[in-house]
A and B are shown apart, each in its own frame.
Chain A
Amino acid sequence: MTTVIENNQKNDRLEVGTPLLEVKDLHVEFHTRDGIAKAVNGVNYSVAAGETLAVLGESGSGKSVTAQTIMGILDMPPGKVTQGQILFRGQDMLTMGNEERRKIRGQKIAMIFQDALSALNPVLSVGYQLGEMFRVHQGASKKEAKEKAIELMDRVRIPAARQRVNDYPHQFSGGMRQRIMIAMALSLQPDLIIADEPTTALDVTVQAQVMDLLAELQAEYNMGLILITHDLGVVADVADKIAVMYAGRIVETAPVHELYANPAHPYTKGLLRSIPRLDQKGQELYAIKGLPPNLLKVPAGCAFNPRCDVATDLCRTEIPALHHVTDKDGKELTGRRSACHLWKETLHG
């Protein structure tokens, strides 16, 4: 059942590790009635072919807005990109024409949304919605498109795909709907997939199945994956590296295991401490005090300082840069950055 894939095998598929997407100093604002909300303030990250980047953060941290900006589905207005570049294979997508941009969407970069029930059109059959990718982008006939839709449904393990191709989204279970979303995103074998909280709406057992499927297909087609989530548990198994966002900024980046073992930012530390653990049974679960900042008035200095246990006067006045992080001997740790004035103390203390 891999014929879909073989048929469309692209000649320009990138080697593992070739840079695919680079977000450079991205700033996004929302103009609301109450003022300007700075949702994204200078975000930098990159993804290479075959690599998985997990973007972690609470609601309002700017992780989804960044993804929507990359995808070009940000509502503008009220949203506005004020600064920055999004390079896809070296080309800045923000300066491209609409038509050029549209051809990247779906074909080169695809997106998986959180709630598959509302993200799928309720009045069109899933077969139609899957087949539409081939009809629009490859000029396939109705019949070909349907065949390919069935193959895709088989590929994401929908039982009895041929019988169910004409069914509507509401006739599938939550896990199956999300697998159909994945199938849709994968249909044209994009270089990059952005998954915005793909498992949040699912129950735990189904979450694992969906994540496994996603990881498997990503490895098979050698795609880049940006996994947006607030769930540290989801990230650990699949991600290569993690970027933690807070109030529209990246506060820490690290290879996944290093971050778990040894966080270099108090916020990350707090997040990790708030995961329930079996060996803490009966104890009170840690929670980071306070609430995420209001984006209309982000605190001066480090945005996390009002909630931080170790904040100093410096933290209340000066926004920390995203420092390179070194080990105890002063050797730079590759891929590790921390936007904390006290990263040394946090990491080594």
Chain B
Amino acid sequence: MGSYVLRRVLQMIPVFFGTTLLIFVMVYSLPGDPVTALFGDKAADPAVVASIKHTYYLDQPIWKQYLHYMGNLFQGDFGTSFTGRPVSDIMADAFPVTIRLALMAFVFEMVLGLALGVLSGLKRGSIADTLVLILTLVVISIPVFVLAYIAQTVFATNLGWVTPTVQDSYDLTQLVLPATVLGSLSLAYVARLTRTSIGENLRADYIRTAVAKGLPRRTIISRHLLRNSLIPVVTFLGTDLGALMGGAIVTEGIFNVQGIGNVLYRAINQKEGPTVVGIVTVLVIVYLVASLLVDLLYAVLDPRIRYA
């Protein structure tokens, strides 16, 4: 077990270098010059451009830039954005917002998704089941930005319960609507996955044994059925936590949430290499850690899986 975790952590090292290099190269090979773009329509003074380029190390060949960036990174310096703010500052502002948003979306999709999935899985063919199937299908087929605009129109414009966009990104109550929209797609997947899994396990031989043992229905469901049925759902939920954090770009944009997604979007547009690489690197690490935790949880849920 310990050696397995160690091996997985060691595996993260090449993944870390690979991602940073890849993102670095991709950002720097984007067409256009970020520095001249800073001047907008105005003509840029070549001397100023050269000086800015020198400050940001942009006048060096790309491999030198990368080494320079990595060198700084290992000293805890994520670099500086074009506005002059350290990237670590920007991330320290934005990540807490996105983490809150993602966690709220995660809790929403997990609790409601599991509940709906268990309900429809146990009562296959019932009205509730059909309703869950139709609703989840609708959610899956509608793109998230459409869903976001519908939610805005209904809850802000028509009902007036919330403001259309988030005014204060640190206010949890304002994040409820964006979080719901963000989590809805995964909720539909969780519900359907749980439903299928429950349906399959209901027909399993060991459930028949549990009935033959004279166990009450409640015990059969909670002790014998749920644990077995949740194994695939846990896998999905774990990897989804990482995806929720990185995948909030559209939702954050529509609801004006000042999180990682918004910052990343702006940074990509302005080709701010250090910001993009910094954020993506952190997201990749979050993703790797989440999937390691899922794999470990897997062994807890299913004793047939052993890591050595």
- Report A's interface with B, CB cutoff 8 A: 71-73, 75, 102-107, 110-111, 113, 115, 118-125, 132-133, 136-137, 168, 170, 184
Contact = CB atoms under 8 A, between A and B. Distances in A.
A113 B216 contact: no
Given A113-B209, A124-B224, A102 B214 contact: yes
A102 B216 contact: yes
Given A124-B223, A136-B219, A170-B304, A119 B206 contact: yes
B213 interface: yes
Contacts of A75: 203
Interface residues of B, number: 22
Contact of B215 (A118, A123, A132): A132
Nearest to B304: A170
Contact of B205 (A71, A118, A123, A125): A118
Given A113-B205, A136-B219, A105 B304 contact: no
Interface of B is mostly: helix
B228 interface: yes
B188 to A, nearest CB: 27
Q: In the complex, which of the residues B214, B224, B228 has the most CB atoms of chain A within 10 Å of its own CB atom?
A: B214
Interface of B: 203-206, 208-216, 219, 223-224, 227-228, 301-304
A170 B40 CA distance: 68
A122 B206 contact: yes
Contacts of B208: 73, 113, 119
B11 to A, nearest CB: 28
Contacts of B215: 102, 106, 132, 136
Contact of A105 (B204, B205, B212): B212
A123 B228 contact: yes
Contact of A168 (B210, B223, B304): B304
Contacts of A123: 227-228, 301-304
Contact of A106 (B204, B213, B302, B303): B213
30 contacts: A71-B212, A73-B208, A73-B211, A73-B212, A102-B216, A103-B214, A104-B214, A105-B212, A105-B213, A105-B214, A106-B212, A107-B214, A110-B213, A113-B208, A113-B212, A118-B204, A119-B208, A120-B209, A121-B206, A122-B206, A122-B228, A122-B303, A123-B227, A123-B302, A124-B223, A125-B303, A132-B219, A132-B223, A137-B214, A168-B303
Contact of A121 (B210, B211, B212): B210
Contacts of B304: 122-123, 168, 170
B214 A121 contact: no
Given A122-B228, A124-B223, A168-B303, A110 B212 contact: yes
Contacts of B302: 122-123
Contacts of A110: 212-213
Interface-central residue, B223, B301, B303, by most chain A CB under 10 Å:
B303
A227 B214 CA distance: 20
B293 to A, nearest CB: 19
A188 to B, nearest CB: 9
A190 to B, nearest CB: 10
A120 B206 contact: yes
A173 B216 CA distance: 30
Contacts of A72: 211
Given A136-B219, A168-B303, A121 B213 contact: no
Which 7 A-B pairs give the minimum distances between C-beta atoms? A106-B214, A105-B214, A118-B205, A121-B206, A106-B213, A168-B303, A111-B212
Contacts of B206: 118-122
A115 B301 contact: no
B211 A105 contact: yes
